[in-house]
Structure 1
Amino acid sequence: MLTGHFIASEQGQLFITQFGDITGDSAILCLPSITEEMNLARAVVAKQAQCFADENLPCFVLDYYGTGDSEGEFEQANTDIWLENIIAAGEFIQQQGVSNIILWGVRFGALLMLNHQKTLHQQLPITQQILWQPVTNGKLFLSQFLRIKQAKNMMSNSAEKTNWREHVLQGNDTEVAGYLLTKPMLQAIESLKISQEFQPLSSLHWFELSVKEPTPLTKRLSASWDETLASMHCFDCPRFWQVPEIFALPELEQLTLRAVCVK
């Protein structure tokens, strides 16, 4: 079953896509990435969600306020609003009879959930966390995003060199790949970072993608983790969040499914 729901939030209606019927007490809530990454990854995320649903594990994919089919514009949103959206989505899922929520963060979605891990665990009955290639530093994420603007300028043969980050910080709202980036949004995203002291509060499955072994950064992050609580998985696959025309990764689907153990 594939169903769409509009749920109320303080800012406006949020859209959630439901894959599969609720037959037990567990469900997955997917927190996607944002901007172009969200669009490019959508097909692979949908296939994984359906894979979960086929194993009687319903999956709900959230469109944050100002993204996807939810109300609002990107420039009207901020990371605090998106945190409220996650909680609202989790409460909606609980109202459907679910008492165990597995959070699944994709790229920026993983960064958002880990930065607010304590609040989310206080507000929602989270039992597991799945991370697909987490963004570990919001400033680096935005730097990569702003390169799209720089590349577009170069393709138009513009001789003008602009520091787009400084341009936005000076209060100049700037369109990048169809998204209006504002100073408050830039500052909010740049403030997000996974601390070296991060410790998981529930069973955590971290997936390093497009690599055969963990990067030095993730090795440092995971060095102090309780191995009975957290696991690291590597899977060498295309960067579907950056590359168009990737619609399914069956091996990743099965690897992720096997990692999730519903009690």
Structure 2
Amino acid sequence: MSKAQPFFLASPQGKGQRFCIFHPADGIQRGRVLHIHPFAEEMNKSRRMAALQARAMAKIGFAVLQIDLFGCGDSSGDFGDASWQDWLDDLSAAAKWLATQGDEPLWLWGHRAGCLLACELLARIDEPTCNLLFWHPPAQGRVLLQQFLRLKLANGLLDGGGGTTMEALKTQLSSVGHVEIAGYALSSELAAGLEAASLNIPAQSRMRLTEAHCFEMSSQPSLEPAPALASALARWREQGLAIHHHPVTGPAFWQTSEIEDAPALLASTLATLTARQAEERSNL
């Protein structure tokens, strides 16, 4: 088994370095994968699952690059100084680096907010084709932002405070430029980027997209996606894009109090890549 290779990637904007882990493919390299982590504490809760999946992907022939975005993990910068544009710049640099490792099919593997970033990244990468792997994507970034802001409201109630509203938090973001939430300083720039993001593929990128797979977690999964996600996927199909929905039984490990695994998600994701490999080999 190939050993994971940690390294630092220089920021093209001169904003320090980004911590990366590269998992070389075992044996013949059949594909390349760029992992795009979720937002704030969801990233920390998901570290173990991302590592398990990356190693499993490498074992079946996929070279995987994981990157900590600006202000996250072991990368340079403070979370409170990060913007949505900074993160897209980081991912563009990561995709360029991964392009030096081969010309096999590229997969953008996004988790939660990482799925929204992947949609926008499609317009910025220099690849003839691309595939998507989405772990429990939100249909709209504003939903994630509201969930994050509610943590501040909930903490205020627990502390005996009252009167703070969602509108008051948004006013603070626009006037002060940031708000402290659950140990994270959220900047107005990052909040605006997240709020505007959606599960849409830019028109100029649609011809590049080969296929997309959406894995939706639930304790009792339905064969049908959640209503908001269903609308987004229907829109993709109307645009002629190939999108596959995969319901998976398991915990929402990115938000559980303790670190949890979701073996069914690991297996389903790996099965999708394996099936794609088999299809490509049969077409040779």
TM-score by length of 1: 0.89
Of 100, 103, 106, the match for 1:101: 106
Deviation at 1:236, TM superposition (A): 2.5
Per the alignment, residue 209 of structure 1 pairs with 217
Q: Percent identity?
A: 29
Residues 247, 4 of structure 1: CA spacing in aligned structure 2 closer, same or farther, 3 A cutoff?
Answer: farther
Any conservation in 2 of the 1:114–1:194 contact (CA below 8 Å)? Answer: yes
Task: State the secondary structure of the residue aligned to 1:72.
Answer: coil
Separation (CA, whole Å) in 2 of partners of 1:196 and 1:83: 15
Deviation at 1:116, TM superposition (A): 3.6
Per the alignment, residue 242 of structure 2 pairs with 229
TM-score by length of 2: 0.83
Per the alignment, residue 67 of structure 1 pairs with 72
Per the alignment, residue 250 of structure 1 pairs with 263
Per the alignment, residue 32 of structure 1 pairs with 37
Residues 228, 154 of structure 1: CA spacing in aligned structure 2 closer, same or farther, 3 A cutoff?
Answer: closer
Residues 217, 133 of structure 1: CA spacing in aligned structure 2 closer, same or farther, 3 A cutoff?
Answer: same
Separation (CA, whole Å) in 2 of partners of 1:172 and 1:90: 30
Count of paired positions: 261
Deviation at 1:170, TM superposition (A): 2.2
Task: State the secondary structure of the residue aligned to 1:118.
Answer: coil
2:225 maps to a residue whose letter is P
Residues 197, 221 of structure 1: CA spacing in aligned structure 2 closer, same or farther, 3 A cutoff?
Answer: farther
Per the alignment, residue 88 of structure 2 pairs with 83
Per the alignment, residue 8 of structure 1 pairs with 10
Any conservation in 1 of the 2:249–2:264 contact (CA below 8 Å)? Answer: no
Task: State the secondary structure of the residue aligned to 1:58.
Answer: strand
Separation (CA, whole Å) in 2 of partners of 1:81 and 1:196: 20
Task: State the secondary structure of the residue aligned to 2:123.
Answer: helix
Deviation at 1:132, TM superposition (A): 0.6
Deviates more, 1:249-258 or 1:156-165: 156-165
Q: Which runs of 5+ in 1 are unaligned?
A: none
Of 136, 154, 157, the match for 1:133: 136
Separation (CA, whole Å) in 2 of partners of 1:202 and 1:50: 24
Any conservation in 2 of the 1:66–1:77 contact (CA below 8 Å)? Answer: yes
Task: State the secondary structure of the residue aligned to 1:65.
Answer: coil
Residues 146, 95 of structure 1: CA spacing in aligned structure 2 closer, same or farther, 3 A cutoff?
Answer: same
Separation (CA, whole Å) in 1 of partners of 2:54 and 2:129: 18
Q: Which runs of 5+ in 2 are unaligned?
A: none
Deviates more, 1:18-27 or 1:191-200: 191-200
Any conservation in 2 of the 1:126–1:202 contact (CA below 8 Å)? Answer: yes
1:179-211, Cα deviation, whole Å (9 max, x unpaired): 111222221211112249986822111112213
Separation (CA, whole Å) in 2 of partners of 1:125 and 1:65: 27
1:259 maps to a residue whose letter is T
